[in-house]
Each structure stands twice: as structure tokens, then as C-alpha cells.
Amino acid sequence: MSETASDVLVIGAGPAGSIAAALLARRGFSVLVLEREKFPRFSIGESLLACSMELLEEAGMVDAVIARNFQFKNGAVFDRDGEFSEFNFAHKSAPGYSFTFQVPRAEFDSTLAAEAQRQGAEIRFETEITAVDFSGARPAVTSRSARGIEVHEPRFVLDASGFGRTLPKLLGLDRPSAFPPRGAIFTHVRDNTMAGAFDRQKIRIGIHPTDPAVWSWVIPFSNGHASVGVVASVEHHNSRSGSAEERFWQALEAEPRLRALLARAETVRPVGEIIGYAATVAQLHGRHFALLGNAAEFLDPVFSSGVTIAMKSASLAAAALARQLHGENVDWQGEFAEPLNYGVETFRAFVAGWYDGSLQRVIFFPRQQEKIRRMICSVLAGYVWDRENPYTGPQAGRRLRALAELCRTN
Ligand SMILES: Cc1cc2nc3c(=O)[nH]c(=O)nc-3n(C[C@H](O)[C@H](O)[C@H](O)COP(=O)(O)OP(=O)(O)OC[C@H]3O[C@@H](n4cnc5c(N)ncnc54)[C@H](O)[C@@H]3O)c2cc1C
């Protein structure tokens, strides 16, 4: 057993971990990131939001990401059995980037991790956090790797371990989400679609012809492959039988327009399933630790919000932590949790509205005022922390329901 000490120990080298590590290393702190997997590694979550570009820029990573030639993305198209609603991020109400990318996460996350290293963070792969003790003057964090068991004594711990939810599990902070359990079945395909058959610059969200709570994604990549998945309630998924591959194609059959689009598609990786991914925590921070990204909360895949929230949480935490490490008093609730939750609450309201049907009514309403459509577009582009937009923050749910009522009666 050996001991190492750094200013900050980050658990996990996904987007939250790499962005936090870079932002703190840039400010001159010593940062050690411990990552369980060997990179590159597969991860779901491949469609980014335009707002994430600002966070990549803050962390000095935009040029590296652009250099990878990922699929350019400028919006989303919703297809409800042949009825279309298209949002181009250029039409959003908020200022800022109006484009982003659709990224195989193995490459994207490796790019971000390399950028964090270039900026001074140390990353050790194939190193898993197995225990923590926050009772002493400094945290004691135990890791296991080929180097053996090590105990690290940083000044502060950022948990960016995603669905691993390391600190929530070890500290008993894990809580169930208020959303009912849903699941996704997904893979990557060589889509073999004809040029122009659909807009590769947008995520395609398809809605089941008779059950609006069942939906699909197609996220095209720049190499002719695409990520394809179907989301439904656990009961809906359980009603199918056969191998994962058979159930995946059955799920596609249930949305005929999707099946037609992917008539010549071939899977290029094993079909995966994630069930019951929504989760939350009792608190976002504590003495000597804060929880970032999915380690804190995951809502739902429908608005591709996960990576953007992960990066935003890293940005807010890095700013607060830098001040604390310089000896200033930090109000973690006021400087980290509350500002982060403002945007998370926006997405929470939009996810709830998606599944109760009110948001779908707004999205497909043909006579929407342009000003309002721009505000909705802004949220879909990830600008959920824009306090100028009435459809953000704690009021988002109430205002969205009122808007949906107007769409019903007009
Ligand atoms: C079906 C589905 C579809 C999705 N689609 C999208 C999408 O289109 N767009 C989007 O933005 N988001 C999407 N998401 C969400 C997205 O996957 C996550 O929100 C995002 O990856 C969170 O980033 P993160 O940095 O918090 O965690 P992660 O990216 O999960 O990174 C966490 C890292 O921590 C490591 N780790 C875990 N435990 C430990 C440990 N004990 N010790 C050391 N390391 C550890 C893991 O190996 C991993 O590399 C989707 C999610 C699901 C379930």
C-alpha cells in the first residue's frame, strides 16, 4: 500500500472528469484523475448540444474536438409517423454556438482526456476507486489497480464516475429518480442510407405511431455509421423475447418509418441495453467532495442533455473549488448546486412534458409564434441556464403546461 497526495482527486475520466481536471490544472492545481477503464472505451450518449461548445471552449478543448472531424450537428428533427418538426439551433433565442457534433464517445472521451493531460492533469487508467473515508482532516480514497492498493489523500474529491455513482453508493447518498424506470436498447449500425434520405446534421427522434412514450433515436456519425436506439418503459421492453439483437430489430419494426430508413442497415457492434438509468442523490456536495454529471443525477436520454449537464457541473465545481483551495469561503449550495439545478430543472420539466404528451403538442404545433419557437429551440440546444428565457428554471414546467394548453385550444 502506498500513499499519494494531490490538491484534487477526480474519480472517472468521462466528460465531467476531464473538463473538471483541465479547468483545475489550468488554474495551477495538482489534479489526479483515476479511471476504471482503459481508454478508448465505449459509452452511450453520443449527441451533443450546442451549449456544450461553450464549456469545451472554457476548458480549452474546442480546437481539439473540431480537429477530429466528428459529424457536424445543427439541430434535431422529430418524426411522428410522417409528421415532422425540425429545430435548427441557428434559430435559438440565446446567444452562443449554434452547432455541435455527434460523436462516437470512445473517440470523444479520449480526446477530452488527452486534452486534460496536455493541460497538466495526471490520469491513471485501469484504476478503480473502491473505498473512501471523509472522517479525517483530509479525505482518504482507496484505489485498486495493477500497481496494487493505494490510498490517496487529496484536499478535495470530485466524483465524476457517471453511472458508476461511486460516492453516492459508498456514502449512501443514492436516491431513486421521480421518473418511472425506463430502458433503452441500442447499437451502432452501418446505416447504408441513400444520400439525402435524411439530414445527417440532426439527431432524428422518431415517435412510435400509437404509443407516444416509446421513441427512437438515430444519431449519424461522420464515418457512415449511426447510433440507433429505442426507449420505452421497462414493461414495454420486457414484452419482447429473444436475443438482444432480435429484440432490437423487433423494436425497430414497431416504428415502420424508422425500419424503412434503416432497411439496409447492418449492426457493427453488439446490441446493448440499459434499464432504469434515471437516478438522483440526496445532496450534490459535502465536506471535501462534490458530485458531477451522472454521478449526481441522470434524467432521461430524450433531449441529449447528459454530457452538457456533466460539463456544466464540472465548470461550476471547478470555479468554486479553485476559490476554496485558495483559502476562500465557498457556499457550495449557492455557487454550485443552485446554479446547476436551474438548468437541470429546465430539462426535468421538458422530460416530464415529453412523456405526459404536453411537450410533443408544443413541438408539433404548426402555428407556433416564432418568438416562442426560438425559446423552445434554445432549450433543445442546451441553453437551459439562460435566465432571459421564460422556459428555463423552476418556472419552466408551469409555463410549458400553459403553452401546451394554448396549442390545444388554438
Ligand atoms: C440510453 C442513453 C442515451 C443517452 N444519450 C445521450 C446523448 O445523446 N447525449 C448526451 O449528452 N447524453 C446522453 N446520455 C447521457 C450520457 O451518457 C451521460 O450523461 C454522460 O456520459 C455523463 O458523463 P459523465 O462524465 O458524468 O460520466 P461518464 O461519461 O459515464 O464517465 C464516467 C467514467 O467514470 C469511470 N468510473 C466509474 N466508476 C469508477 C470508479 N469506481 N473508479 C474509477 N473510475 C470509475 C467510468 O469508467 C467512466 O469512464 C444518454 C444516456 C443513456 C442511458
Expressed in angstroms and rounded, the spacing between residue 408 Cα and the centre of ligand 1 is 37
Please give the pLDDT value at position 22.
Answer: 98
pLDDT tens digits along 284-309: 999 999 999 999 999 999 999 999 99
Confidence of residue 409 (pLDDT cuts 50, 70, 90): confident
- Is residue 5's pLDDT more than 90? no
Average pLDDT, the chain: 97
- Tell me which of 10, 42, 43 to substitute to probe ligand 1's pocket, judged by most ligand atoms within 8 Å of the beta carbon: 43
Q: What percent of the chain has pLDDT over 90?
A: 97
Tell whether the model's pLDDT for residue 130 goes beyond 70: yes
Distance from the CA of 263 to the center of ligand 1, in angstroms? Answer: 30
Indicate the top mutation candidate among 11, 186, 307, 309 to test ligand 1's pocket, ranked by most ligand atoms within 8 A of CB.
Answer: 307
Atom of ligand 1 nearest to the CA of 203: 8
pLDDT of residue 169 exceeding 60, the answer is yes
Mean pLDDT value of segment 46-72: 98
Residue 390 confidence (pLDDT) above 60? yes
Give the residues surrounding ligand 1 with Cβ less than 6 Å away: 11-17, 34-37, 43-48, 128-129, 160-164, 166, 184, 229, 274, 277, 293-295, 298, 301, 304-308, 310
Check residue 1 and give its pLDDT: 56
Ligand 1: distance of its center to the CA of 1 in Å?
30
> What pLDDT score does 85 carry?
97
Per-residue pLDDT band at 258 (split at 50, 70, 90): very high
Strand order in the sheet with 148-152: 2-4, 148-152, 140-145, 128-133
Task: Reply yes or no on whether the pLDDT at 410 is more than 80.
Answer: no
At residue 220, what is the residue type?
P
| Distance between Cα 269 and ligand 1 center (Å) | 18
Q: What are the DSSP E strand ranges found in 237-303?
A: 266-267, 272-275, 279-281, 285-286, 289-291
The per-residue pLDDT for 408 is 87
State the distance from the centre of ligand 1 to the C-alpha of 48, rounded, in angstroms: 13
Q: Going by CA atoms, what residue is nearest to atom 31 of ligand 1?
A: 14
- Residue 298 DSSP label: B
C-alpha distance from residue 169 to each of 111, 160, 279, 394 (Å): 29, 13, 12, 28
Q: Please give the distance, rounded to the nearest whole angstrom, from the Cα atom of residue 227 to the centre of ligand 1.
A: 16
Q: CA distances (Å), 349 to each of 14, 203, 265, in order?
A: 26, 21, 35
Give the whole-angstrom CA distance, residue 217 versus residue 47.
Answer: 10
Residue 2 predicted with pLDDT over 60: no
Instruction: Identify which of 284, 44, 275, 296 has the alpha carbon closest to the alpha carbon of residue 164.
Output: 296
Distance (Å) from CA 163 to ligand 1 centroid: 6
pLDDT tens digits along 182-204: 999 999 999 999 989 999 999 99
Question: What is the β-pairing status of strands 285-286 and 289-291?
Answer: antiparallel
Which atom of ligand 1 is closest in space to residue 231's alpha carbon? 1
CA-closest residue to ligand 1 atom 6: 45
Q: Are 124 and 108 in contact (CB under 8 A)?
A: no
**Residue 245 Cα distances to 9, 62, 156, 218, 236, angstroms:** 39, 36, 44, 17, 16
How much is the pLDDT for 301? 97
Mean per-residue pLDDT, 396-407: 96
Residue whose Cα lies nearest atom 2 of ligand 1: it is 301
> Once rounded to an integer, what is the mean pLDDT over residues 325-342?
98
User: What is residue 308's predicted lDDT score, i.e. its pLDDT?
Assistant: 98
What is the pLDDT at residue 69? 98
Residue 264 burial (10 A CB sphere; 0-12, 13-18, 19+): exposed
Backbone angles phi, psi at 335, to 5 degrees: -100, -20
pLDDT in tens, 68-125: 999 999 999 999 999 999 999 999 999 999 999 999 999 999 999 999 999 999 999 9
Distance 47 CA to ligand 1 centre (A): 13
**Which residues lie below 8 Å from residue 349, measured CB to CB, with a gap of 6+?**
396, 397, 400
